[in-house]
Amino acid sequence: MPPKKPDKGKTDPKKAPAKKKEGGGGGKAKKKKWSKGKVRDKLNNLVLFDKSTYDKLYKEVPSYKLITPSIVSERLKVRGSLARAALIELHSKGLIRLIEKHHSQMIYTRSTKAAMEDEEAAAAAAAAAATAETEKPGKRGKK
């Protein structure tokens, strides 16, 4: 028997031609590139004080409520080592008061009149207590 001829009017649902998807479905996808990370601007902080920055240090820094080398470095645009040295200088002149000293960070605050009086009274009391202890006779002092 001769092979059957396909009907021109009817189409077989199993043998329907596949439609191409929009956007070119197959093929090799592009390889994802690694990002180079976020680029930070380079800080251009001063290594030594100039006249205007030094005046700003003495004028503004003693009025801050919280004073750390990090804050001074950021606001005055100076290096951290220079900010640390400047805070030690301000503390020695009595313009700021030391709250906490740690090997990595020192915390200061503004110096107020009441705080200065309290420190002087505490220092005087400590000196009086030290002199009172030295005057007490020990066991060897008795006869």
Measured at the CA of 56, the angle between CA 51 and CA 60, to 5 degrees, comes to 165
DSSP code of residue 17: P
Query: What confidence tens digit (pLDDT) does each residue in 95-126 have?
Result: 999 999 988 889 999 988 766 666 677 777 77
Place 42 in a pLDDT band, splitting at 50, 70 and 90.
confident
Place 28 in a pLDDT band, splitting at 50, 70 and 90.
confident
Query: What confidence tens digit (pLDDT) does each residue in 46-80 have?
Result: 899 999 999 999 999 999 999 999 999 999 999 99
Alpha-carbon distance of 72 to 75, in angstroms, equals 5
- The answer to whether 27 and 33 are in contact (CB under 8 A) is no
Name the phi and psi angles at 50, rounded to 5.
-100, 175
Alpha-carbon distance of 126 to 132, in angstroms, equals 10
Residue 108, beta-bridge partner list: 67, 98
Give the tokens for residue 43.
């800080």
